[in-house]
Each structure stands twice: as C-alpha cells, then as structure tokens.
Structure 1
Amino acid sequence: MRILHTSDWHIGRTFHGHSTLAALAEVLDALVAQVREHGVDVVIIAGDVFDSATPAASAYTLLDDALVALHETGATVIMTSGNHDSAARLGFHSRLLRDGIHVLTDPLAIATPVTVHDAHGPVQFFGIPYLEPAIVRQHWSERGDADAEVAPPPLRTQAQVMHHAMALVREGMAANTGRSVAIAHCFAAGVDVTVGLEREVRQGGLDMVPLTSFDGPDYVALGHIHGRQQLSNRVRYSGAPLHYSFGEQHKERGSWLVDLDADGVASVAWLALPVPRALVTLTGTLDEILADDNVAQHLDDWVCAVYTDAVPQHEPMRRLRERFPFCALVQHQPEGADAVDDRSYSQRLRTAVTDVERIEAFLEHVRAGQGASEREAELIREVLDDRVRAEALV
C-alpha cells in the first residue's frame, strides 16, 4: 500500500496581511498530481486543515476542491483535526461525505479504525484528533479498572491524553487484524525546535509527548510542526505544504511517500512540492538592500528587509516596496545593538543626572542602543546652552 502523508494546510492563513489561498491552491494541485503520478492509495492529512475555527467560505471552497480532486485520483482520503481546526465544524459533514473520504474528529472513536485493503490484507488507520486535556478528560473519566489498586494519573497534559489515546489505538489494533497506521496532531519529544513551531504551542514551556507513546503502529503520521521531521523510521512529521513565515524559508515543502509491505514500512521517500513565491531575508543598510543587484535577483520574491542603519530611516516600507513589490516585513536592527548594556529605559533614566545624560538614555532607547554621534552630541550641547542663556534673560 502506498500512503501520502501531508499535514498543516492552514487554509485561510494570511502571510503578513496577504492572502495565501491562490498559492495554496497551486501547491495542492501539484500534490494531487503527485498522488496520481505515484499511484497513491491513501492520502493522510494530519490536522490543521484550516487556520481558524471559523473559516471563511473561500476556505471551505478550497478544501472541497482539493478533496474532490484527490477522490478523483482513486485514493482514499483520511483527515483529522488539529488545534487550529474546530473539530465539530470539520467533522460536521463527515457522515455525508462520499465513500473514500473520512474525517476523523471524535475522540470517542479513536479505537475504531478506517480499514483499507491491499494485496497483503487490511491496513487499519486510527485517527487521533487534536486533544485538549480540559475538554477530553470528561469523556475518559471512567478509564481504567475500577478494582485496580492504583488509580490512573489525571489527564492534565498533552502527554497524558496522547498516552491514553495511543492506548486506545493499541486496543483497536488488538481487536482488528492487519498492519496499522496512527495519525495525530501534537508536539512530540525529539523534534528540532528550529524548524518552525506553531505560534501558540504553549507559553512558558512546551508540552511534549514522549516518543515512546507512539509504540505499536507500523507508521505514525504526525502534524503540528511546519518543517519535515523524522523522529524514527516509522514516526514522522511532513510539515506544511506552504511557507507561512520567514523562519521557514529554508525548509523544503513536501510530503512523505510511504510504502507498506506485508511486514510494515518498506520504504519512505520525500516528495518535494513547488514554492509559488520564494522567501528571502535581506540584511544590510537600507541603501545596500535597495541596491540594483538585490532588486534584479529578488524582484518576484517575498522579501524580509532587516536594515542595520544606526537610526530608523524615513518610510522604509514605502521605499522598499517601490523596488520590491512583494516586500512583506521590515525590521530595524542597528549594528552593534547587542553590545549595549541590558538596563531598561527607566533604569537608565534613574542613573542620569544631567540633561545630556537623559537625552542620551532616550536616544539609546529609541535607536536600539545607538546613542548620539559626535556631531549630534555637539548640537545637543548647543541647544541646551541656548536654553540656559534664554532662561537667564527672563
């Protein structure tokens, strides 16, 4: 059996205020072509189908178009919900969908697989929707043996609810013969945190699920991380099909193509997807960034401009967009700013005695640590001296 593992479509997300629908539609068309070209039997979408719990109508239209196109290839589609999705909305029409398209959003049905057959027999697909502990623990309050001497731990963390969900998967595996695939949306231990985490994973600490929680299935298709990751030969993240931040610009976009034989995973290959518009970060003074060579190379790219001038420049975004139509982000990071002390503005003011020191503290605050230049310091002293003389005449 041949499986295509994708995730984190985030239909409806914007990129620095720009719609991504057209770009994502182009990428999903390429994904459908790959499904057809490689004779894929099952397409897995491991959560975060939408970017919002209340998607716009245009987002539903794009999803419908993609699902219809995938269905027309002859592949079975199995989709779960992520933390960005509303499980209720995503799963609302699941019973009405045509044969071969399955939307798995019910935590009470985790142990009930979708069964797909090949020449070697059945393959059981277990879908685990994103599990919010505060919501799902009410469904599993009766878990465990009532006569057991030790009560099971409370379900308060993502790791605890995923451990219980995977126990349900293993129960389902025991009750249904054949090979097995689990689909989940979470942050698994062992992930490289440089690849682009979800923006709201957890403030104040990452709630990680141990890799051992996924023991059992022949393959585990994960979503939630936007860069591809291989935690083991049988546990992987596919990442998002489109770049959604400049932090992801150097990460390939694509899907995992997984072949199962009679014994489990036979091979896994990476299928790269096209990038509709490349992302680039240009660093230097504003004049250096606006140089003709840069414009010639990056005229059609999404541009993040990090300019290093000592002081903020006038209307940098307007000037940049005159040269780079797709400039999406401007950041001011003066050279040498990291070398200044770490005192706050209020702390600097408290230690300032003279007006010159107070002005210097203000300039360092608004110019990322860059104080007055020699000529500026001279002008400041002249202005202050003129003020003193004027007050003396009153």
Structure 2
Amino acid sequence: MRILHTSDWHIGRSFHGHSTLDALRGVLEAMTQQVRDRGVDVVIVAGDVFDSAVPAAGCYTLLSETLRGLADTGAHVIVTSGNHDSSARLGFQSALLRDGIHVVTDPLSIGTPITITDEHGPVHFYGIPYLEPAMVRPLWAGADLRTQQQCVSHATGLIRSDLAVRGGRAVGVAHCFAGAVVPTPGVERDIQQGGLDIVPLSTFDGLDYVALGHIHGGQKLSDNVRYSGAPLHYSFGEGAKPRGSWLVEMDADGFAGAQWLDLPIPRRLVKLTASLEELLTSPDFAGFEDAWVSAQYTDASPQRDPMRRLQQRFAFCATVAHTPGVVREHDGLSYASRVRQAKGDDHDLVDGFLAHVRNGVGATRAESEIVREVIAEHAAAVPAGSAGVVEKAEASA
C-alpha cells in the first residue's frame, strides 16, 4: 500500500495581507497529479485543513475541488481536524461525501478505524482529531485529561485496545507537538497556554506509521513517526524549508519506508539586508524582483517611504524593517539634558532632538538649511521679548 502523508493546508490563510488561495490551488493540483502518477492508495491530511474556524466561501470551494480531484485518482482520502479547524464545520457534510473520502472530527470515533485492504490484508487508519482538553474531558468520565499529552495518550490507549482485538497493520493520524519537535517561531499556534505540551514518541508505540500535523516543516522524528509540514510557505521563517509530503510504503509486515516528494513553490521567499540605496540599486539583488521579499535596511537613520520605494524594484516586497548596522552606544543623556546643552541655539536644539531619535544621526546639510529657514521665519514673526524655541523647550522639559 502507498500512502501520501500531508497536513496543514491552512486554506484561507493570508501572507502579509495577500490571498494565498490561487497559489495553494496550484500546489494542491500538483499534489493530486503526484497521487495519480505514483499510484497512491491513501491520502492522509493530518489536520489544519482550514486556517480559520469560520472559513470564507472560496475556502470550501477549494477544499471540495481538491478532495474531488484526489478521489478521482482512485485513492482513499482521510482527513482529520486540527486546532485551526472548526470540527463542526469541517465535519458537517462528511455523511454526504462520496465513497472513499473520510473526515474524522468526532473524538468518540477514535477507537473505530477506517479499514482499507491491500493484497496483504487490512490496514487500519485511526484518526485522532485535535483534542482540546476542556472540550473532551466530559466525553471520557474518570480520565485525567488536563493536557494535550494526557488527551493523546488516552486516545492511543483506545486505539491499542481496539487493535488488540482486530489485529493487522495500523496507521495513526494526529495533530500535536510530538517528540523533539522544532517549531517555526511565530507560525505554529501554541496549543497549550503557557508553553509547549509535547507528546512523547512512546505514546504512539504499537502503530506501524504515525502521520503527524501541526509543524510546518517536514520532520522525521523516527523512521515511522513524521511530520509532513505545510504544502505552501506561510511565513518568511519557513522560507528555507522545502515544501512537500511523505510517500509511505506499507508491506506485509507494516512500515517499509518513506520518500520525500517535493512540491512546487509558486513564489520563493527571500530576506535581503543592506542599506536602502543598495537594496534599490545594487546588481547583487538582481533576480529577486519576482520573489516575496522581506527587506531590512541598515541605514543609521530611518529613511523616507521605504516600502513604496522598495516595491518599485521588488513588486512583492511584503515587509520592511529598519535595522541599523551600527547602533550608537547610549550616552546616558535624556532629552531634557540635551535641551539644556543647546545653550540658546535653536538649531542645536533641533539637531540634538534628531540625534536623540535617529540613532545619533543629526540633521543633514539639507535638513539644516530647512531648520535655519524655519527658525529665521519664526524669529521674524515673534515679537521682541517673547520666549524662543529653546526657552519653551526648557520649560516643557
């Protein structure tokens, strides 16, 4: 039996304000073609099908198109809910789905597998939907279910009890932090308030293969316990991680190996760091014009309208940050101290203010000319004997 393990589609997620539906549609079409070309028997989607508990209409359309396309290849499809999904919305139409498509969202179904047979006999697929302790505690009276670890351990206990009676090979599907996972900062939502609630790998003992979801990068925790990651990049923190899925082989004895299948990347992600002028003109950054760009400019002081200027070269510049290459050592002076040091010179006062808020960079020559003109106009308009700029600043300081 050949199994394609995927997860974390996050249909409906935006990328820095940009829709990802069209890009994800192309990637999922490529995945469907891999299923057809490789003769895959079962496709597993291990949670976080949607990005939101309340998906927009277009998200349902893309899911329906993809499930129909996968089923048309002749493969069975097994989908479980993740922490981003609403199990009710994901599972409401499961009874109406065509043969070969199975959506597992009910925790009470955990001990009942979806059984698919090959030439060696049955393979039992046990789906574990995302288990929120507060929500599932009433379902299993007497069980101590305060953490994700306890919930998943209880679920796998139910699975082992059922498998002991049925016999045969078994595949588990779960959505959680497991083993020595390496999460992507700011990407995977913490599923336990106050810290990661990690499920030990021993929790899945007795299963021939475990298809995990929740981590967005493909990871091999052991030969037969793996994360497939998301099929699309959803943050710059994921940019260096390949996108794809695991093609898992099952023989008469169980897990026989897994092969990574790359998926196309519609638009690559890059982080560029240099001065703003270099980012705008340097040939070193040629070739990134069609990439998603996260720009960090290293000028000593903030520059005018950097996003608009960068997008003139990099149309898909999504973020820009000012990260000075050299940060001045703090001299311990407050702004009030700088006002007192201006010694009656209004120009020095303004220059000191600019240096205070611009990483030590005072007025440029052009700015100094403007400041002097404004001060001169102010002095001409103020009656003799009135307080000047410095005196007013000292009073407010």
Normalising by structure 1, what TM-score? 0.87
For structure 2, the residue ranges without an aligned partner over 5 or more in a row are: 342-348, 387-397
Distance 1:321 1:375, change over 3 A: closer
Shift in Å, 1:332: 1.1
Q: Provide the C-alpha distance between the structure 2 equivalents of 1:91 and 1:38, rounded to a whole number of angstroms.
A: 28
Structure 2 CA distance, aligned partners of 1:272 and 1:356?
A: 64
Aligned pairs for 1:1-394 within 5 A: 1-143=1-143, 154-194=144-184, 197-202=187-192, 204-294=194-284, 296-337=286-327, 340=329, 349=334, 353-355=337-339, 366-367=357-358, 370-373=359-362, 393-394=385-386
User: Do the aligned partners of residues 158 and 70 (structure 1) sit closer, same or farther apart at CA in structure 2, a change above 3 Å counting?
Assistant: same
Q: CA deviation at 1:254?
A: 0.1
- Note the C-alpha offset of 1:263: 1.0
Question: Size of the alignment, in residue pairs?
Answer: 374
Relative to 1, partners in 2 of residues 1:288 and 1:174: Cα closer, same or farther, differing over 3 Å?
same
Q: Contact 2:351/2:363 (CA < 8 Å) preserved in 1? A: no
Deviations 1:212-246 (A, max 9, x none): 21212010000001000111111100000000001
Following superposition, the deviation at residue 196 of structure 1 comes to 6.9
Kept after mapping to 1: 8 A contact 2:248/2:258 = yes
2:12/2:21 contact within 8 Å kept: yes
Aligned equivalents of 2:186 and 2:337: distance in 1?
A: 46
Q: What SS does structure 1 have at the residue aligned with 2:286?
A: helix
Q: What is the identity, as a one-letter code, of the residue corresponding to 2:220?
A: Q
Which position in structure 2 is the counterpart of 1:150? none
Q: Distance in 2 between matches of 1:197 and 1:203?
A: 15
Which structure has the greater CA radius of gyration?
Answer: 2
In the alignment, the residues of structure 1 paired with residue 206 and residue 320 of structure 2 have an alpha-carbon distance, to the nearest angstrom, of 47
User: Is 2:213–2:227's contact at 8 Å kept on the other side of the alignment?
Assistant: yes
Distance 1:192 1:269 in 2: 21
TM-score (norm 2): 0.86
AA of the residue aligned to 1:176: R
Question: Structure 1 residues 365 and 18 mapped into 2: Cα distance closer, same or farther (>3 Å)?
Answer: farther
For 2:181, what is the secondary structure of its paired residue?
A: coil
Q: Is the 8 A contact 2:215 2:229 kept in 1?
A: yes
The code of the aligned residue for 2:232 comes to L
Rounded to whole Å, the distance in 2 between the matches of 1:116 and 1:312 is 61
Q: Tell me how far 1:49 sits from its aligned partner.
A: 0.2
- Residue pair 2:204, 2:210 contacting (<8 A) in 1 also: yes
Tell me how far apart the structure 2 counterparts of residues 375 and 205 of structure 1 sit (CA, whole Å): 48
Give the deviation of 1:83 after TM superposition.
0.6
Deviation for aligned residue 1:311: 1.2
* CA distance 1:20–1:374, shift in 2 (3 Å): closer
Cα offset for 1:174? 1.4
Aligned residue in 1 for 2:345: none
Matched residue of 1:304: which SS?
strand
Give me the whole-angstrom Cα distance separating, in 2, the residues matched to 1:226 and 1:194: 7
Letter in structure 2 aligned against 1:331 = A
